[in-house]
Structure 1
Amino acid sequence: MSCTQTIADYALRSIGIGERLLPKGDMTLCEHFTLIGSGLIWNLYYGVLALFFGFFLANAIAVAKASANPWARKPAEWFVFVFRGSPLFIQFFLAYETFVLLPRAGIDIPLGFMTITVATSWLSKAWAGALIVLFLNTAAYSGEIFYGALRSIPKGDIEAADAYGMSGWSRFRRVMWPTMMRLAWPAYTNEAIFLFHATTLVYFSGFPAFQQKGDALYYATYFAAKTFNPFVAYPVIAAYFILLTLAIIGLFGMVNRHLNRHLPKERRSRIRLRPQIIR
């Protein structure tokens, strides 16, 4: 089988499009790259959606933690404490066991004049349950990052906004939030990288891969088990994630330059890739 045919058969294998049977016998390097790259679609799915929805929840958590109202501050503090204080691996298992214990037929919600049945079986699927865990986890870490940046806003900026007659939502939207983003963005970039790396833990969690539609690590482990050689499949998946990391750094770097566009060049913070060779 040529490499072109392999790509046509397995490029979208992880989402159920293409050849149903996994390769057997002598496995080529092209099959390694194609199938592991196909599994990366799920890692991108988890990472992109968790980061997108987690960003909005993280902003709400940061504002709630900075609030003087204990009814808003305390739940935000406990949410951050629980998800930052427990391992992500354990969160996956607890979430899966919780979702499995829910009634398979759904939960009945009586409304008086009628009863609505809310389906729950989909929560035990990896595409939903694992995504929820990653979303809540990154929201907790990002919320703490944004909270620290919110507390670090120079008082002069707030006083200047007050002098212009800004208050409440207008002051937060036009002065505080942009400054908070500018201060938090380098650390938030690291959180985005860690999140995409953490998507590989879905393979080890209780959420099963149905019909062999797994993520990148699922296929890398398959190749390593069949060939008894981990020094091909795992370096391939590592190379994919290195490229993904470079893409994140480039994309977030553009946002960082936009956030700091009003500052002199010598004061602009830069996001750079600095591999730590010797610790």
Structure 2
Amino acid sequence: MSCWQTIQDYALRSVGFGERLLPRDDFTLCQQFTLIGSGMIWNIYFGVLALVAGFFLATALALGKGSRNIWLRKPSEWFIFIFRGSPLFVQFFFGYFLFLSLKQSFPIFEPFTAAWLGALVVLFFNTAAYSGEIFYGALRSIPKGDVESADAYGFSGWPRFRKIVWPTMLRLAWPAYTNEAIFLFHATALVFFSGFPAWQQRGDALYYANYFADKTFNPFVPYPILAMYFIILTLIVVGLFGVINARLNRHLPQESRKKIRLRMNVIR
């Protein structure tokens, strides 16, 4: 089988198109690159949707935590504390068994027991909690002079938040938020190890990398391929977020613009 034929058969296998059966012998480098790359579709799916949805919840959590109203502040504080204080790996297991229990009484929760939706919900809550804390810190760091100037110009309530507070919060939080986005995409690899099943062997990139490692007894080929894909994905995320960061800081002098710095999350 040629490499082009392999790509045609397996490039979209993780989403249900192409050859149904996985290779059983004579594992080629092309097969490993293609199938692991196919699995990356799920990692991108989890990362993009969780990041987009989590952005809005994170903004609400930051505002809630900074609110003077105890009924808004305390739920936001506890939500952030619980999801930041417990390991993501444990959250996957608790999420799966919670949805499994709810499915027995409410059949509407059946889709949540599958990885494509249940794991996405867990990632959504997790990244919202971390991002909410980042946004809250940025909210506290907004110079009082900016808010006082907005008041002097007659801005108050929603117009002040939309034109002054929210853009400034994003500008201050964006470098740290970029690192959270990178970690979120890396964390999608944990879905394979969670309790959420991979339906019809349609797993993510780590699922296929682990498959080839088990079949060939050589982890030094599939796992570096997996790492390469995630490095490329990280470079794309850094590039996109860098463009947004430049847009947020376009009004500042060149020497005052904050640059994005990557920081490793050793323990989370």
Which bracket does the TM-score occupy, shorter chain normalised?
Answer: over 0.9
- What whole-Å deviation, never above 9, does each CA across 1:77-136 have from its counterpart, x for those lacking one? 0000000000000000001011111244x53xxxxxxxxxx6111110000100000000
Report the counterpart of residue 200 of structure 1 in structure 2.
189
Between the aligned partners of 1:21 and 1:127, the Cα distance in structure 2 is 21
- Contact 2:179-2:263 at 8 Å conserved across structures: no
- Contact 2:146-2:164 at 8 Å conserved across structures: yes
Please, what is the CA RMSD of the aligned residues?
1.2
Between the aligned partners of 2:108 and 2:26, the Cα distance in structure 1 is 44
Structure 1 or 2: more helix by fraction: 2
Please say which of residues 165-174 and 137-146 is displaced more in the overlay: 165-174
Report the counterpart of residue 132 of structure 2 in structure 1.
143
Between the aligned partners of 1:85 and 1:274, the Cα distance in structure 2 is 20
Report the counterpart of residue 114 of structure 1 in structure 2.
none
**Displacement of 1:25 after TM fit?**
1.1
Between the aligned partners of 1:82 and 1:260, the Cα distance in structure 2 is 33
Structure 2 unaligned blocks of 5 or more: none
The TM-score, its normalising length taken from structure 2, stands at 0.97
**Displacement of 1:53 after TM fit?**
0.2
- Contact 1:249-1:272 at 8 Å conserved across structures: no
Report the counterpart of residue 61 of structure 2 in structure 1.
61
Between the aligned partners of 1:209 and 1:127, the Cα distance in structure 2 is 9
Structure 1 unaligned blocks of 5 or more: 108-117
Report the counterpart of residue 164 of structure 1 in structure 2.
153
SS of 1:231 mapped into structure 2: coil
Report the counterpart of residue 219 of structure 1 in structure 2.
208
**Displacement of 1:44 after TM fit?**
0.4
**Displacement of 1:47 after TM fit?**
0.2
- What whole-Å deviation, never above 9, does each CA across 1:192-231 have from its counterpart, x for those lacking one? 0000000000000000001100000000000000000000
Between the aligned partners of 1:98 and 1:157, the Cα distance in structure 2 is 45
Report the counterpart of residue 119 of structure 2 in structure 1.
130
The AA in structure 2 aligned to 1:156 is G
**Displacement of 1:274 after TM fit?**
8.3
- What whole-Å deviation, never above 9, does each CA across 1:36-94 have from its counterpart, x for those lacking one? 00000000000000000000000000001110000000000000000000000000000
**Displacement of 1:191 after TM fit?**
0.1
**Within the alignment, does 1:191 sit opposite 2:180 as a pair?**
yes
**Within the alignment, does 1:35 sit opposite 2:35 as a pair?**
yes
Report the counterpart of residue 235 of structure 1 in structure 2.
224
Between the aligned partners of 1:177 and 1:103, the Cα distance in structure 2 is 39
The TM-score, its normalising length taken from structure 1, stands at 0.93
Percentage identity across aligned positions?
70
Q: Name the larger-Rg structure.
A: 1
Report the counterpart of residue 3 of structure 2 in structure 1.
3
**Within the alignment, does 1:210 sit opposite 2:199 as a pair?**
yes
Between the aligned partners of 1:77 and 1:189, the Cα distance in structure 2 is 22
SS of 2:220 mapped into structure 1: helix
**Displacement of 1:19 after TM fit?**
0.2
Runs of 4+ in structure 1 off by over 6 angstroms are none
Between the aligned partners of 2:155 and 2:30, the Cα distance in structure 1 is 60
> How many residues of Structure 1 are paired with residues of Structure 2 in the alignment?
264
Between the aligned partners of 2:142 and 2:15, the Cα distance in structure 1 is 45
- Contact 1:39-1:216 at 8 Å conserved across structures: yes
Between the aligned partners of 1:24 and 1:272, the Cα distance in structure 2 is 43
